[in-house]
Structures are given as structure tokens and as C-alpha cells.
Structure 1
Amino acid sequence: MSIVGFFRKLNIRKILLRIVLIDLAVSLAGYALYRGASGEEETVFLSAAAEVTDIEYAVSAQGVLQGRNQVDVGAQVSGQLQSLKVKPGDKVKRNQLLAEIDPLPAKNALRQAVVKVEQLNAERDATLHKLKLAESNDRRYQELGSTEAVSKADQDKARFELETQRANLVSLTAQLHTAHVKEEAARIKLDYTRIFAPMDGQVLAIVTQEGQTVIADQMAPVILKMAQLDTMIVKAQISEADVLKIQSGLPVYFTIPGDPDRHHDAPVDAASPSGTTGENSKAVFYNALFDVPNLENRFYTNMTANVRIVLEAKKGVLTIPVAALGDRREDGTYSVRVLGEGTEVRTAYVEPGINNKVRVEIRSGLQAGDRVVIGERGGVEGV
């Protein structure tokens, strides 16, 4: 055999070997597909154990912390803010001086009111003297009239003077009363130039700075904001889908972003009946309100609170993942698939309790340690 013939025969053998290998691979793949399609491959279950745990069903909400009593301290007179006696963060007592508005215009107005009162008092005194004289003249003229020593015209003139002085006295008395009212109002306005704390509390913010002019003709301009922070109020936004579940007295706890591991507990005080809509949606929210002590001064106004209002809760009860629940029966029980040894699966019927959409309490039908099916894949896997 020639060398060329030898190599030609060798190449043919290689080609035939490749064809055989390809055919074998295709056959194996087809067999695998056939087995998968025919269900011969073993079903694999994802499972979880029934465990004794604590469980709660709660409404989650985001809230905001505010001072229990929060007020805007304003000016009741117009003028230049002459001085501020406090700064943000200061603790103040009721009736403590907070700020002063330039008192000079109010002092001048009071002086004018006092002068007016003095002037009217002097006029009234003079009128009283004139009245006494008119009464004396009238009495004398009336007595002389019976003797015809004076004319009827003189008698009438004396009587007219008497009535005039009486009317003047009434008018001056009324003017004097008005002047006293204006004097009192001027004194009050002068007092209003000194702004005092309406309650014990803490200064939150300064709104008007020294040197600014405030105008109080239509509404009281705000000088500063203050609040009582010993007790804070939490306003938690509850969706309209959950608000009917909220009742006074329900336990609630919340955390703040700066200390997420610490729970702060309180009872719900009330749910506000007035709703508000979201900024970028038509969803309606209602405020659930509750107080919380701030003895450690850890809470600040407008701080975010992550709130959970507990509707139901139990400790140390048997629970399983909600994903394990099957169909609901007429008697209220649910079917649950339970793994036995190997790949054995049996069906149990359980009575559920608290369901928080993640885990569900099992009152009967299972025991701690039972493994329930929560899904299927490929060998038995547990979670």
C-alpha cells in the first residue's frame, strides 16, 4: 500500500469516529429530554420548618414628631424689633421676656392719651363750677319771678344756661370715658412692645430678626416659634385602606432613623377624621395620633418616625410561612403539604390564626419541626 493510500484510509476512519461520537451525543440528549418530558425526573421541593416564634399583625406607617404644644409667638403692635432675649434651643419659663419692640411710638401715644384725659378732667371741673352757678342763678330768678322783680325773659335765660351746663357736663363725662378707654388701650399697646413666653417650653426657631420692622395691622407677625418638648406627639399617616382598623388604645411602637434598633412604645390616642391627599397621588391618608415622653431629649420636631400599630400579637406560638398555605376549605382550615422521609409528601389540614402576610400562626394540624412545602424545584431543599 502506498503512503498516500494509507493516509487517505486514516482520514476516513477519523471522520467515521466523529460521526459516531456526534450520534451518541444526540442520542443521550434526546434521552434526557424524553425523561424530562415524561416526568421521570424526581420532583424537588423547597421546604421550611414549622417553628415556635412570636408573631404580630401590624399596620406600618411613616410619621412625624412634633411638640405636644407648639405655638407661634407673635407681635401685637407694629414697630421695629429692638432686641431678642433668646436663641433657638433655649428653654424658657412662662412669662419670661423673649423680645422687645421699639416702645417710643407707644410711649408717645400714651402721653397724648394721658394729656387728653387731664384736659377733659379740667374742662369737666370748670363745667361743674358753671353748673353750680347756673343752678344758683336759676333758683334765684325763679324766686324773684313771683315778685315780678325780674322779667320772664331773664328767667328763661337763666333756665337755658342751667340746661346748657348740664348738657356740657354729660358731653364731657362721655368724652372723658372715651379718653380713659384710649388711655388704657395706649397702656396695653405699650405693654405689647414687651413679648413674653406664653408657656414653659423651648425656642424652636427665630422668625423675625433684630432690626426688622413688623406690621401688626391685619395679622400678628410671628417673632419666634416655641413648643413644649417634654412630651412629643407623633402623627402617623395611615392609608384609607387601614384607617378603619385603628382604634384608641392599640399598642404602637416606632423607631427613628438615628436609632433604628431602639423601640419606643405608646398607645394610640386617636385617629384624625380629616384626611389629606398625597403630593403626587390621589391617595388619602389619615393621622393616627399618640404621645410619647421625651425625658431624654432624644426627639426633635419634624423628626421621622417609622411606626407600627399592632392589631394582633402573640408570643411563643407555632408558625409557618404564608407560602405554605394551600386551598381554603369551607370549615376555615387550609391544606398544607408536609414532607415525610425522603420525598414522601402528605397533606395536612391546619387551622390558621394571626396572619401577617409573611408568616401565619398554626393553631392545630402541625407540630414544631414539621417541614412544609413552600415551592418546587430540583433534591429536597430546606429554608
Structure 2
Amino acid sequence: MNEARPVDPKLMAQLGVKNGVKKSFWRRRWWQILIGIIVLAGAGYMFTGTGSEQVRYKSEAVERKTLIVKVSATGTLEPEDQVDVGSEVSGQIAEVLVDYNDRVTKGQVLARLDTDQLEARVIQAKANVAAADAGVKQAEATEREARLRRDRIANLLERGNTSQQELDTANATLARAVASIDSAKAQVELVKAQLAQTESDLAKAEIRSPIDGIVLDRKIEPGQTVASSFQTPVLFTLASDLTRMEILVSIDEADIGDVRAQQIATFQVDAFPNRKFEALIESVRNAPRTVQNVVTYEAVMLVKNEAGLLKPGMTATAEITTRKIENALTVPNGALRFTPRDKKVEDLEQPNDGTRLGRLWLETGGEPKDIVVTVGSSDGARTEVIKGELADDAKVLTDILRANAEEESGKAP
């Protein structure tokens, strides 16, 4: 077999194909390198953007509006006048005459205790009074007898028929008889007081309503034993009028300075989540309440419940309107917190006169410009600007929309 032999370079030169393979190879390589450079440049542009693009900010317009400042609080609905009715005497419940939601009048009998023992005590007390009256009569008779005996002995002593010692003894006996009358009369008063107490206990065996109202709760059944030795047991809970109720709301100490009597409030309950009810602040109590180191103050809100939709014990979430500012110049709350990343500013030193300062950054078409303003009330979304070089048509910066890869949005803490 014939073996392949290397091509003679001189022959290749004569045929005009010198370095043909190498030229074709490098021509293809240059095209591949050029395409790769174009792809990498495009990817770099997509990821980094143009190096000359400026930072873009989000801005919002200053707005004049009616600013309504509210304080949120939670509380519980309660009847305006609620009374717990108990028993002052012990015994067994003989009958219960009212039930839940029954309307009652003042003096109406709600329940009765078994009165057998109480009636027996009254009879015994009356007998003691009769015995004490008899004791007074007996003491008076003894006194008359002692006085007559003393007088006789005195006559005998004048005639010399007895001794002075006999007269002294008679005088002492008479004095004891007089004292016995006083003691017997005091005993009469004592047993009469005992009779009055037993009669009062017998009368209290009928549990009566102290007010006109409605029965909210009944805690007894016939046959149940009531013991009032140490603490008066609660048998019924009554409410005077459920068409007028009140809410006891807890207000945080940070908000209590803005809450006053006669302020208007609205509230919602879980039973009617899409409905708002109106209320009026009646009073703000000065006694603090501390729970887990959180200090709150209690305010009483009056509520009209003519439709009867609200029930005692419902949890109410209230909003109290503490201030209404007409034609207020306002800015978004976010504008007071925003600071561009590349701007270094010092924290504002707040004055001691109760006013509060804030810094705003204005949209100028170029570099942002900051101004210091005096701010007032806030409704949670916008804040009133009281004083400062802020025009009605100005726009304030609130955030960064776009920046170079090295830029980041900056907000003051």
C-alpha cells in the first residue's frame, strides 16, 4: 500500500495555496469574537443602565384640605345604670318570679326566700318584748314596796323604835329597786330592736327591684340555698334603660392630652362591621390604669341605642375626633421621613416651646432642595405644615424611583 506523504511546500507555493488553511481559520475566529463583544456589551447595558442617567425621585403635591385628627381607642359597651341585686338574709329560694329580659318596676318582687324560720324568729322576738314589758311592771312594783318600807322605818326611827342601820338598809333597797326599773326598761328597748331586726329580715325575704329596668342576668333557681354570712350574693343583674348605653374606652397616655369632654366619636362592633355608630365623650377620668407597664386613662362615651342593636359587653373600636382643621396646608407623612441617600444632613434640634420641626425635600427639576418647616397635627397619612417656605403648588419628594447601580434609596429613621 502507498503511504501518505507530506505536501511539498514548494509545490503548494507554485499552486497559489500558501497558508490557505490558516487564513480561513482566523477569518472565522474574528467574526466569533466580534459577535461575543456585541453580546457582552448589550448584557452590560441591560444590567447597569447608562452611566449618565440621573437619580429619579417619587414626588407628591402639597395639598390644602380639611385635616381631621382622630384618636383610636377600644372599650366595652355597658348599660348607663346597672345594678346587682342580692340578698341580705340567708335561706332557701322558694320561688323566682322573673326571667332574663323581663321588664321590672321599682319595688317589684323578683324572688322569695323560704320564711318559716324567719317567721318563728319574729314570734320569739314578740314574746321577748312581752316578757320585758312584764319585767318593767315587776320592777315598778318592787320599787313601790321598797319605798313604803323605807317610809315606815323612817317613822319608827323618829319615835326611837328602830336603829339608823335599819333606815340605811331600807334606803339602799329602794335605790336598787329604782335601778331595776331602769334596767327593765332598757331590756324592753333591746328586745324591741331585736323584734325590728327579725321583722326586717322577714321583709327582706322578698327580693325586690331597686329600679325600673330590665333583667340582664338571673343567677338563682328555686330550691337553691343563699348564704349571706360573709358577702352578699348577687341574684339578679338589672339595667335601667338599654336605649342609652355607655362605652368605657382606654386611651393611651400619648393621646390623652388631645381628648376632652363633649368631643364627637364614632365606633364599630364586630356584630355590625360595616356600620358606624355615633357617641359623645361625657368625661375623662384622671385615675391611671397600668397593665404590663402600659399606662392608659378611661373615658366615658354616651351612646344612643334606640334601635336596640347594641348589647352589653360588646367590644367597641372607637375613633375620637380631637381636632378639625379647615384649609390646612398638608404634606404626606412619608415626605417628612425621606432623605436622599447622597445628602448628608444633621438631625433637627427641636425647640422647647412645644412646636415641632420637620425637613422636606422639594422637587426642583435638578438637585433636590431641603427646607425646614414647623409641623402640626397629623391624621396618620398627612401632616399639617404651620410655618415654612412651602408654596401651595410645591411638590415634595417621598422616595426614589430609579438610580444607578451604585445608588440606593435613603430614608431617615
TM-score (norm 2): 0.73
Q: Who is 1:365 aligned against?
A: 390
Q: Who is 1:308 aligned against?
A: 319
- Give the structure with higher Rg (CA): 2
CA distance in structure 1 between the partners assigned to 2:34 and 2:220 by the alignment: 94
CA contact (8 A) 2:139 2:180 kept: yes
Q: Who is 1:9 aligned against?
A: none
What is the CA-CA distance between 1:133 and the residue it aligns to?
A: 3.8
What is the CA-CA distance between 1:347 and the residue it aligns to?
A: 4.7
1:270 to 1:23, Cα distance in 2 relative to 1, 3 A = same
1:268 to 1:162, Cα distance in 2 relative to 1, 3 A = closer
Q: Who is 1:7 aligned against?
A: none
Q: Who is 1:204 aligned against?
A: 216
1:358 to 1:173, Cα distance in 2 relative to 1, 3 A = same
1:167 to 1:17, Cα distance in 2 relative to 1, 3 A = same
- 2:223 is paired with a residue of what secondary structure? coil
1:13 to 1:217, Cα distance in 2 relative to 1, 3 A = farther
What is the CA-CA distance between 1:259 and the residue it aligns to?
A: 3.4
Which of 183, 195, 212 does residue 207 from structure 2 map onto?
Answer: 195
What is the CA-CA distance between 1:262 and the residue it aligns to?
A: 1.9
1:187 to 1:354, Cα distance in 2 relative to 1, 3 A = same
CA distance in structure 2 between the partners assigned to 1:200 and 1:315 by the alignment: 46
- Identify the range of structure 1 (74-83 vs 86-95) with the bigger mean alpha-carbon deviation: 86-95
CA distance in structure 1 between the partners assigned to 2:44 and 2:395 by the alignment: 36
- Residues 142-169 of structure 1 deviation map (CA, whole Å, 9 limit, x = unaligned): 3355446778787677656544533432
Aligned-pair identity (%) = 24
- 1:180 is paired with a residue of what secondary structure? helix
Q: Who is 1:67 aligned against?
A: 79
1:374 to 1:135, Cα distance in 2 relative to 1, 3 A = same
TM-score (norm 1): 0.78
| 1:29 has 2:40 as partner | no
What is the CA-CA distance between 1:132 and the residue it aligns to?
A: 2.9
CA distance in structure 2 between the partners assigned to 1:165 and 1:377 by the alignment: 112
Q: Who is 1:115 aligned against?
A: 127
CA contact (8 A) 1:247 1:271 kept: no
Ranges in structure 2 where 5+ consecutive residues have no aligned partner = 1-25, 340-347, 352-356, 404-413
- 1:269 is paired with a residue of what secondary structure? strand
Letter paired with 1:271 = R
What is the CA-CA distance between 1:377 and the residue it aligns to?
A: 1.8
Letter paired with 2:383 = V
Ranges in structure 1 where 5+ consecutive residues have no aligned partner = 1-11
- Identify the range of structure 1 (258-267 vs 139-148) with the bigger mean alpha-carbon deviation: 139-148
| 1:335 has 2:370 as partner | no
CA contact (8 A) 2:215 2:238 kept: yes
CA RMSD between the two structures: 3.7
| 1:104 has 2:127 as partner | no
Letter paired with 1:335 = L
CA distance in structure 2 between the partners assigned to 1:35 and 1:238 by the alignment: 52
Any residues of structure 2 matched to 1:1-383 within 5 Å, and which?
21-36=35-50, 38=51, 40-41=52-53, 43-147=55-159, 162-228=174-240, 229-260=242-273, 261-277=275-291, 281-325=292-336, 332=357, 334-338=359-363, 347=369, 352-362=375-385, 365-367=390-392, 371-378=395-402
- Identify the range of structure 1 (232-241 vs 326-335) with the bigger mean alpha-carbon deviation: 326-335
- Residues 2-27 of structure 1 deviation map (CA, whole Å, 9 limit, x = unaligned): xxxxxxxxxx9999987765543222
CA contact (8 A) 2:77 2:314 kept: yes
1:68 to 1:252, Cα distance in 2 relative to 1, 3 A = same
Letter paired with 2:231 = M
Letter paired with 1:78 = S
What is the CA-CA distance between 1:79 and the residue it aligns to?
A: 0.6
CA distance in structure 2 between the partners assigned to 1:15 and 1:76 by the alignment: 111
CA contact (8 A) 2:279 2:302 kept: no
CA distance in structure 1 between the partners assigned to 2:41 and 2:119 by the alignment: 111
CA contact (8 A) 1:272 1:288 kept: no
1:168 to 1:346, Cα distance in 2 relative to 1, 3 A = closer
- Residues 39-80 of structure 1 deviation map (CA, whole Å, 9 limit, x = unaligned): x34644434344443322222111112223323211111111
1:153 to 1:367, Cα distance in 2 relative to 1, 3 A = closer
RCO higher in structure (CA 8 A, sep ≥6)? 1
Letter paired with 2:118 = A
- Identify the range of structure 1 (169-178 vs 73-82) with the bigger mean alpha-carbon deviation: 169-178
